[in-house]
Amino acid sequence: WKVVNAGKENGSFITSQCFLMGRNSADEDWQTVDYFDGNRSNVVLRTITSDKAYRYLRMVVTRGTQAASSKDVRIYEVEVYR
């Protein structure tokens, strides 16, 4: 999966921490597929190691910038592929 942040505008706009979560039906609990923490790269490219497939995916951003006090998130692009 790939996340392109707004770091070309300003390095502080790079997402520091987020989770990719998945599930297969509306009544299932969300499961963490992958996450990153302490990121400083504008483009994050990660490999999902699980063989499990998901129908629904969501990305939960828990720290959207380099500053812990900021509540903003600036993401240009998200890609998930198999």
Of the candidates 12, 68, 55, 63, the one whose C-alpha atom is nearest the C-alpha of residue 37 is: 63
pTM for the structure as a whole: 0.90
Overall number of domains in the chain: 1
pLDDT for the residue numbered 24: 97
Q: What is the pLDDT of residues 14-69, one digit of tens each?
A: 999 999 999 999 999 999 999 999 999 999 999 998 889 999 999 999 999 999 88
- Residue 36, domain extent: 2-79
pLDDT for the residue numbered 48: 92
Whether the per-residue pLDDT at 9 is higher than 90: the answer is: yes
